[in-house]
Amino acid sequence: MITNRNHEHNIWLSYGNQKQNLHLPVNPPEIKLGDAAGGKTYEVSGLGEINVIQSPKLTNISFDCFFPAEAYPFLVSKTWIDPAFYVIVIKGWMEKKYPIRFIYTGPTFDINLPMSIEKFEWKEAAGSGDIEYSISLKEFAFYGARPVIIKNDKASVKPQARPSDKTTPKTYKLVAGDSLIKVARVQLGNEGRWKEIQKLNGIKDSQLKKLPIGMLLKLPG
């Protein structure tokens, strides 16, 4: 379970390799994560009980929060958007039946996973106009069929690469709290590649601590 306490935490939902991005305006008080390994025990004659470790189960993430009806001072996003907009976008993603990406960035660790929206419930809070919501996500495992090739009257299965939505975007726009190390960690999966980003964009060492919000960075492949 993750407990959000300040603006160092940010949660994004994105669709279509970041073609659509929602920066959640209010951090939920807590995020529930579940990724049990699913071990099973068996009785073996003469040995007693043994434990067989199974493949890890897919991660589940759920949380409750609200979309604000006005620009409260505690918003983590810089711009206020009408709460109905978030509902329309999320319901549209669900209708398309394609996974989204859940991105959590914090001071100590990050989460970046393809996920399906399993449940999304919402209601308008009486008197305030805020929209309260509950969302449940499940990690999405990309898969593809493998063609069967007939050789010498014997069927063999040809391995096929698993499809993925992890195409690295060519550019990235800086948001509040970003650094080249964090961009390398979230966008490239390796924070050690921040120097590649620095060199590619011609950023001087003296500019590293004063990168402007909204700066468009080119990202290495």
Half-sphere exposure (CA, 13 Å, Cβ side) for 149?
6
Residue with token string 């009486």: 126
Domains and CATH numbers, the chain: 1-37+52-140 (2.40.30), 168-221 (3.10.350.10)
Q: Positive or negative CA dihedral for 105, 75, 131, 81? A: negative
| 3-state secondary structure (DSSP) of residue 5 | coil
| 3-state secondary structure (DSSP) of residue 111 | strand
User: In which residue ranges of the chain is pLDDT below 50?
Assistant: none
Q: Are strands 20-23 and 10-15 parallel, antiparallel or unpaired?
A: antiparallel
Mean model confidence pLDDT for the chain = 81
pLDDT at 202: 92
pLDDT at 163: 55
pLDDT at 90: 94
pLDDT at 191: 86
H/E segment holding residue 40: strand 40-44
pLDDT in tens, 57-104: 788 999 999 999 999 998 998 888 899 999 999 999 999 888 999 999
pLDDT at 100: 92
